[in-house]
Structure 1
């Protein structure tokens, strides 16, 4: 559970003297988490607004004050999932220091897997349920995957078209593997990808970029 969602669930009932902005933000966090968790159980199509409202513990009026429709709520939940994924990755990439190329790619790929495993409901929104919503959401997911490709290619110093294509293939394969595991609720399986994936990259040499075999 995210820190914001946990805070939202701890709001006291009745008169509490909290600023309206705090209450609205907490309600929004509860609704988004409820949307993600409900879809993890029943899928996008099988999740009515009523189920989200019940799980979030808010009124129908409160839901529609925040969101125009179920699709609008999903889009917001998807953006929250993206935020969680990218925040973790960008936090890692902004603090490399004097680490070697191997150490950097290990941290980024490992951080991505850890982020998915830590938030399985949001990971399902990000990886699985997006396909039930429509082309705009799928396009957004594709764009984010290319962002991750760019991060990997930059770390591995992929200078040629062939090396960049190899990076795209690596990320696409990783995406397919984690999507399958998240779809069946295999969080441990997501974490288990870490070592074989990193071993593959370590043994790749210059296939993906400038990574020496003995780095």
Structure 2
């Protein structure tokens, strides 16, 4: 589980002698976590800067030293959430590039299983951030939605590389798969259905297996 805004990198009380950069970084981290946490209760529209300040334990002056507006704070919180998610998925997928598998299909399916597991488990471990970039993003505006679409394309690329999608048709199938996953995950996050979220892993993997070369040359049709 992730830290809450009140506990994340909490600075010692009183005179601590910490460098200015460390203080600012700690405050920024708490603000970004607080943004995500506050929206789980009231959504983006209903979340005020005051609510964020209360959770983060910082002053209004500190907030506006780092962010020009609530929307700018959301953008930064979104980027933080995306980088955390991508880092987790890339970590589990990265080792396979150096491995030489005797069975390419078996290796690709195993990699997809690790990617799905990392993706879904990350949502469960950090539901506030998941809700931020899957649900609340649509209330912020076109720029935020555009960032959401770019994130999905990165997910498409990871799937396509893993399954060795080479043709335009295979790439489109991977895009369709990523879009379907996004829609199903978003619904479960909105409903706070974490058990249902994790239950997606096995049927998604079986879908890829049955799809075979529809998705990429690394998977053979049965």
Verify same fold: TM over 0.5: yes
Asked if structure 2 preserves the Cα contact closer than 8 Å seen for 1:36 and 1:77, the reply is: yes
1:105-130 alpha-carbon deviations (Å, 9 max, x no partner): 11112211122221110111111111
Asked if structure 2 preserves the Cα contact closer than 8 Å seen for 1:33 and 1:77, the reply is: yes
Structure 1 stretches of at least 4 aligned residues deviating more than 4 Å after TM superposition: 3-7
* Farther off after superposition, 83-92 or 45-54: 83-92
Query: Following TM superposition, by how much is the alpha carbon of 1:186 offset from its aligned partner in structure 2, in angstroms?
Result: 1.7
Query: Following TM superposition, by how much is the alpha carbon of 1:151 offset from its aligned partner in structure 2, in angstroms?
Result: 1.3
TM-score normalized with structure 1 length: 0.93
Asked if structure 2 preserves the Cα contact closer than 8 Å seen for 1:5 and 1:26, the reply is: no
Query: Following TM superposition, by how much is the alpha carbon of 1:9 offset from its aligned partner in structure 2, in angstroms?
Result: 4.5
Distance 2:100 2:139 in 1: 43
Counterpart of 1:93? 93
Counterpart of 1:70? 70
Distance 1:111 1:126 in 2: 17
Counterpart of 2:220? 212
TM-score normalized with structure 2 length: 0.90
Q: Which runs of 5+ in 2 are unaligned?
A: 102-106
Matches for 1:126-165 after TM superposition, within 5 Å: 126-165=133-172
| Aligned positions, number | 214
Counterpart of 1:54? 54
Query: Following TM superposition, by how much is the alpha carbon of 1:161 offset from its aligned partner in structure 2, in angstroms?
Result: 2.0
Q: Which runs of 5+ in 1 are unaligned?
A: none
Query: Following TM superposition, by how much is the alpha carbon of 1:4 offset from its aligned partner in structure 2, in angstroms?
Result: 9.7
Asked if structure 1 preserves the Cα contact closer than 8 Å seen for 2:5 and 2:34, the reply is: no
